Structure 1
Amino acid sequence: MKPIIPFLLMLLFTSGLHAQSKKVTKTGAIHFEASVPSFEEVAALNKSTTVVLNTETGEIAALALIKGFRFKIALMEEHFNENYMESNKYPKATFKGKVYGLDVNNLTENNKDYSIKGVLEIHGKSKEITIPAKIKKTNEGIAIASNFSVNSDDFDIQIPKVVSKKVSKKVNIDLDFVLK
């Protein structure tokens, strides 16, 4: 029975080391906007995105539940979920990729520019994308911010003809994550 104690201590020690290479958040923020000038704002915010970063390899993964996006107007949110995103059929958006050139030992309190390349899956469709990111060390952990655009056609998101002049096919996305 005594050999089990050193084994358990070794297991706890090595799992603690492994856990240090992973930084996580469950409160990442994604804001998107598909507004067209002179019409009502089409924008939403999701503050419950889960993001995992492997600090040794630069691999990064994110998951956002579609129903987690909040709009200023409840009816717009309902249309987004039922008509555009079909969130009952496609409940999540995911991203799996890699931060190129990431060395967490070189991170400072000043933003440093990186490229993140990977596969974004929305509405059941996947697309390889490369996005710019600003990454820095903060008191809370590692902060990642990005701003990029996607096209709704790339993900087979249909915009009804009756509102096609009021909703942009170019969707601007802002990411703000602090991983601990």
Structure 2
Amino acid sequence: MKKKFLYTLLLTSIIGYSQIKLITKNGKVTFEASVPAFEEVKAKNESVTCVLNTENGEIAALALTKGFRFKIALMEEHFNENYIESDKYPKATFKGKIENFDYTKVGATFKEYTIKGKLEMHGKTKDISIIAKLKKTEAGLEIDSNFLVNTDDFDIEIPSVVSKKVSKKVNVILDFLLK
């Protein structure tokens, strides 16, 4: 009986200690390609998956392109059919590493980290480097970032008829809570 209890206790502590991956399946990615004086071009995807290896800072994220929601249904349709071509390119992915990452040193206030990796979208891959803020909370690890992506880098064509209404420089906002 004592041996069984000790084995159970040992196994439980090993499993609890060895958890090195944090994950979310409901991360938020918002993008905006609005141009002043024209209609807002903005969408949000609230079902983005992100995984972080806390031992080495490797991070990966996946967003299904059809998961982005716009205020105007016609914009969403044009985004999926004409711009991002969601049937042909159903996902956007990022794989990279947080530089100088030490999970034990992430505190309760935001600290900036550089994340470098490869963003793949619309059939193209680009090396990117972004600044992200990380902090630990009772709910998990928060990761927030705000950066620009150029549509030309991913061969996303903006038709000339709307080229003055849609920016080629797209502001991307990440909001992840990993557990």
Structure 2 stretches lacking a partner, 5+ long: 1-6
2:157 equivalent in structure 1? 158
Q: Which amino acid in 1 is paired with 2:40?
A: E
1:121 equivalent in structure 2? 120
Displacement after TM superposition at 1:109 (Å):
1.1
Q: Which 4+ residue blocks in structure 1 deviate beyond 4 angstroms?
A: 7-17
Q: Which amino acid in 1 is paired with 2:168?
A: K
What secondary structure, in the 3-state scheme, does the structure 1 residue paired with 2:138 have?
coil
Q: Distance in 2 between matches of 1:9 and 1:125?
A: 49
Q: Which amino acid in 2 is paired with 1:125?
A: K
Q: Distance in 2 between matches of 1:122 and 1:166?
A: 22
2:94 equivalent in structure 1? 95
Q: Which amino acid in 2 is paired with 1:164?
A: S
What secondary structure, in the 3-state scheme, does the structure 2 residue paired with 1:137 have?
strand
Structure 1 stretches lacking a partner, 5+ long: 1-6
Q: Distance in 1 between matches of 2:8 and 2:117?
A: 37
Q: Distance in 2 between matches of 1:115 and 1:27?
A: 23
- Per the normalisation by structure 2, the TM-score is 0.92
Q: Distance in 1 between matches of 2:65 and 2:98?
A: 24
Q: Distance in 2 between matches of 1:155 and 1:12?
A: 46
Displacement after TM superposition at 1:14 (Å):
5.4
1:4 equivalent in structure 2? none
Q: 1:158 to 1:17 in 2, by over 3 A?
A: same
User: Is residue 79 of structure 1 aligned with residue 78 of structure 2?
Assistant: yes
What secondary structure, in the 3-state scheme, does the structure 1 residue paired with 2:69 have?
coil
Q: Matched residues, percent identical?
A: 66
What secondary structure, in the 3-state scheme, does the structure 2 residue paired with 1:57 have?
coil
1:28 equivalent in structure 2? 27
1:53 equivalent in structure 2? 52
Q: Distance in 2 between matches of 1:145 and 1:162?
A: 34
* Paired positions, count: 174
Q: Distance in 1 between matches of 2:47 and 2:80?
A: 17
User: Is residue 66 of structure 1 aligned with residue 59 of structure 2?
Assistant: no
Q: Which amino acid in 2 is paired with 1:107?
A: V
Q: 1:106 to 1:9 in 2, by over 3 A?
A: closer
2:174 equivalent in structure 1? 175
RMSD: 1.8
